[in-house]
A = this chain, B = another copy of it.
Amino acid sequence: MREGLYTRELFAEAAKEAFDQCPNLNPKRDAQALFVGMMSDSYEHQAHVAPLFLDWIGLTPKPAFRTEGACASSSVALRSAIFAIASGMYDVVLVGGVEKMTHVSTTGVTEILAMASDFPFEQWHGISFPGIFGMMAVDHMHRYGTTEEQLAKVAVKNHEHGILNPKAHFQKLITIDDVLTSRPVAWPLKLYDCCPRSDGASCIVLTSPEVARNFTDTPVNIIGTGHAQDTLSLFDREVFSTMKVAKIASEQAYKQAGVGPGDIDVAELHDCFTIAEIMAYEDLGFCDKGKGGKLIDDGVTHLGGKLPTNTSGGLKAKGHPVGATGTAQACEIYLQLTNQAGRRQVAGAEVGLTENLGGSASTGIVHVYERGD
């Protein structure tokens, strides 16, 4: 959190850091376009942010694109940028996301986030996202015997990872008991099952494979992209405890990448609520359906386990400035695959994955990455 800053300033700081990863890149000369994800113009009474941010990073009059897909806004930007580069239109673009939320009251933030659910069928009746994910958790507990302790373990793990990330919002260990005794928000979800509201921005430089080595010695290749949608509202779904979008998007991304879930060395998953990480384990194929609770019990997804997830701290501890989250996940995988993740480095990580959700898993976007050297 940076008091008194505007989103444009947060964004410019992230852009500079991304450009700094490419020592031979001159942004004014080389960057050809900007793709930026942001969820809502309501936080700062500011729409039309594409030309605004572009100007604040000195790239006017180049073309700039803003995308919105709720909490997956910058993953939508990333996919749009991939298409733009694959089309041959551009060779070098900046992709990022931003959201500034903490200057708005808690109820104000809840109301703005609720815009990502259906107005007449959900919002109007007073349900907000903790309630929506609470219903998913209840369904998961009922069908598969998942426990509140297992949900709590996701939060505990991600706080353990977060203290290893200097940029994480929370720099604090918590215990299972802390989670279980924290204030109920939407049963079975307690306060510490929920990600915080955060301010933040993230950016990556995306290039065609041909020119990447002109700008850096440590490129990372995006080798698979997948994207699916589900109904905006839960009432329209057969089950609440399976995220169809994560299944479909990961199948697309694995197929394009020529890898399977067993090939992933490190993953950033969309843990907006602890249940979402449990479901992601299953829907991405890291374990069988219903066995997500066991996966966290077994320590598989802790640093040091076979498949560390959310080494950044995840949305839970790193924070969830919603528009920034998608490319922030990509940043973490980039750092991991280029051996720059410091105290949270996964040794020898070669293949990484990001899974980013929008709303009640109405949008799901998965990318697979491979170190480029």
Contacts and interface: CB of A to CB of B under 8 A. Distances in A.
Interface string A349-373: 0000000001100110000000000
Contact of A120 (B6, B39, B231): B6
A19 B244 CA distance: 27
Interface residues of A, number: 58
Contact of A88 (B48, B63, B86): B86
A79 B65 contact: yes
Interface in A62-104: 62-70, 76, 79-80, 82-89
A42 B44 contact: no
A36 to B, nearest CB: 10
Contacts of A231: 51, 55, 60
A46 B359 CA distance: 12
A46 B233 CA distance: 13
Interface stretch (A170-178, A222-230, A285-293, A336-344): A222-230
Contact of A68 (B63, B66, B236): B66
A118 interface: yes
Contacts of A64: 229, 363
A54 interface: yes
Interface string A26-58: 000000000000011110111110111011000
Nearest to A38: B68
A232 to B, nearest CB: 5
Interface in A1-28: 6
A363 B51 CA distance: 7
Interface of A: 6, 39-42, 44-48, 50-52, 54-55, 60-70, 76, 79-80, 82-89, 115-120, 123, 227-232, 236, 244-245, 248, 358-359, 362-363
13 contacts: A6-B119, A6-B120, A45-B123, A46-B115, A48-B69, A48-B232, A50-B68, A51-B232, A52-B232, A60-B229, A80-B84, A82-B87, A83-B86
